[in-house]
Structures are given as C-alpha cells and as structure tokens.
Amino acid sequence: MAFNDAMGTDVAEVQDACRLAGLTRTYGKGAAMHHALADIDLSIAPNEFFTLLGPSGCGKTTLLRLIGGFDQPTGGQIVIFGRDVAGLPPEDRPVNTVFQHYALFPHLTVAQNIGFALRMLGRPKAESAATVARMVALVGLEGMEERKPDQLSGGQRQRVALARALAPSPKILLLDEPLSALDAKLRQRMRSELKALQRETGIAFVFVTHDQDEALAMSDRIAVMQGGRIQQIGRPEEIYETPANRFVADFIGGANLIPARNGPNGAEAAGLGVIPADGRPGEAVTLAIRPERLGLVAGPSRQAGDLGPLRVAERVYMGNELSFRLEGAEVPLHVTLPRGGLRGAQDFAPGDQVWLRPEPGALRVLTS
C-alpha cells in the first residue's frame, strides 16, 4: 500500500514533513538505564534542509535512526506527513537513508546500484530505466553507468549513493554524516552540490553532522544537540549570533566565554570592568562574544564602553587576518582582525597594552 493511500491524506496538505513530540529513547534498566534521547520536540518542513548538529554521543544518529525506522522509540511520537509511524519498519516509511559509508553493492554497476530499490519495489522495467537515467543526470554521472564502485572516486561513489536513495522518490532523505569520508577539498565542493540537489528535488533533507562549518553552510535550520537533548533550534545566523546557552556558544565557531557576576550596575568581569547587563545581583553569568566582533584600540583611542586594559600575549599572521591572544582577564581572550583593505585594522605586537571594543549588540549574557 502506498504511504499516501495508507494515510488517506495528500502530503501537500500537511504542514510538517516530520514532527517529533516527546520522543525518548532509553537503553538498559534501573540504575544502568541510559537516556540516549530525552523529550525531543521538533518539526521539519517539507522542503527544508534540516541539520542535526552535535558532538559524538549527543544522540543525533540515534534520532536519525528513529526517524528512519532502524530503531524504535521508548516513548513519544514520530509523525511523517500526518501519520504516526512509530513501530513501522523502514520499508513502510516514505524516507530513504544515505549512510556514512554509502553501502554500495561492489558487484553491481552504477546503473544497477541506482535501480536496485526500484527492482525490489517491483517497478516496471521501462519506468525503472527512465528513473535511473534521470537520477544519473541529476547527480552528474552521465557516461559512468557501467562502472563498478571500485572504478569511482569517493565523490562519485557518494553521488551514486545519493541517486540510489532518491530513485524511489522518498518524501524525506536522511543523511548520516555522508561527507565524513571525503577529503577537505572534496567535502567543500560536495556541500554546494548537496544543497543544490536538495533545492532541485524539493524534498526534506535531514542531515547529521558534527562539523559546524557544514551545518552553517548548508542548512535552512539547525538543531544543536548535547546529552540527548536539543539545546537550540534556529537558522544558522540565529544559532551563531544569538546562542541560547554556553554550550551552543562554545560549540558553534570560536567564542570568548568570560566568567562574570551581576552587580548593581551590570556584569562585573575581572580585568574588564563593568558591562551593562540585566539580571539578578550576585548571579553568575557568562559573557559570550565572537573573536571577529571585537576591535582592539590603544590607550589614546579609548572610548566609553571599551573593556580593559589587557596585554597582547600572542600575535598570529593568518594571511587575510591577524589573530591575537590577550591576557589580563580571568581567561585568555581571542580577537580576529581583518588585515589590509578598507577594513584593515591597526596592528599590535606582543606586550602592547590594548582595550577591547565590542561591536554594538555583539556581547551576549548567558545564564546557563
């Protein structure tokens, strides 16, 4: 039975491609019980590139396996295009998965690998051949239809895996760190190709990665995970510029995390003075600011709101940027300044006394 028929609902009428409500997954019992996932709530739109991002062991792959039907939840709902699929096996869900190591059949050609699922579904030969040809063109493998996997590069094998997963026309494509086996240059190219492929097919991609750059470059929205829980969901710029807590600020890109305590006039940080902030007096907070959103000024150029004084401990030349490590606060601080051009910054040497000048709105006060 087709998934649409089983639901009795046109997927075009359903707002969410996938909705998770109160989803939990535990392993073991009693004192040995491990909560791999706890109270996961999220919704993914039908045409969205949605990324599950977090360190190893945070639960992102477990969550992907639950959506795909390779594992079953302990509690909660998995609703795909309006139907609760918890308990259904993978073949009864309108999803397909691209695994980390592609899992191509070594004895089959490119065309045979792509058409394998279609044969298993009993599609007519003419229809399958037309679909395979369309998938080959979609992923740019024309002329390679008769090659075996061992005759392909890593990037080409990945494209075969993508084409094979897309051939049965899934409503959602799950991708479990599919770029991790590629070298850095190829990974960067494949990011653009994956995003273009998602736009062209118009289906929901759910992408698992631990790589922050991948997530920021490719995603419409990101769910940052840690300890089996979602720490924040948002667009890449929201996650980066307005982290919800200390973990998100630290995990996504580089951030200066400065211990402080709220006083009567603001947050007081050792070596930096008082920084305007709301909060309960005496409350411990963390001040978070990105290195590229800080300026450096010498004493004669100081203005109200500059923080310091600090001392330049290290200067690193990085081509188009200069990176500085500063001492004098409770923790070392890092500043990245553009070099040359209209935005070229004043240079400093180790031992120089400097003050920090945060960009307006760049300083975040975090209480967790």
The CATH 2.40.50.140 domain(s) of the chain lie at 254-366
Whether 208 and 180 have beta carbons less than 8 Å apart is answered as no
Q: Which residue has the higher pLDDT, 162 or 11?
A: 162
HEC letters along the chain: CCHHHHHCCCHHHCCCCEEEEEEEEEECCHHHCEEEEEEEEEEECCCCEEEEECCCCCCHHHHHHHHHCCCCCCEEEEEECCEECCCCCHHHCCEEEECCCCCCCCCCCHHHHHHHHHHHCCCCHHHHHHHHHHHHHHCCCCCCCCCCHHHCCHHHHHHHHHHHHHCCCCCEEEEECCCCCCCHHHHHHHHHHHHHHHHHHCCEEEEEECCHHHHHHHCCEEEEEECCEEEEEECHHHHHHCCCCHHHHHHCCCCEEEEEEEECCEEEECCCEEECCCCCCCCEEEEEECHHHEEEECHHHCCCCCEEEEEEEEEEECCCEEEEEEECCCCCEEEEEECCCCCCCCCCCCCCEEEEEECCCCCEEECC
Mean pLDDT in the chain?
88
Superfamily classification of domain 3-94+170-241: P-loop containing nucleotide triphosphate hydrolases (3.40.50.300)
Q: Which fold has domain 254-366?
A: OB fold (Dihydrolipoamide Acetyltransferase, E2P) (2.40.50)
- pLDDT for the residue 339: 75
The CATH 3.40.50.300 domain(s) of the chain lie at 3-94+170-241
Both tokens of 127, joined, read 């229809």
Give Cα 351 to chain centroid, integer Å.
Answer: 39
Position 25 confidence tier, pLDDT thresholds 50, 70, 90: very high
Position 187 confidence tier, pLDDT thresholds 50, 70, 90: confident
Residues 49-65 have a mean pLDDT of: 95
Q: What digits encode the pLDDT tens for the residues 226-281?
A: 999 999 999 999 999 999 999 999 999 889 999 999 888 888 888 888 887 777 88
Q: What is the pTM of this model?
A: 0.86
Residue 354, pLDDT above cutoff 70: yes
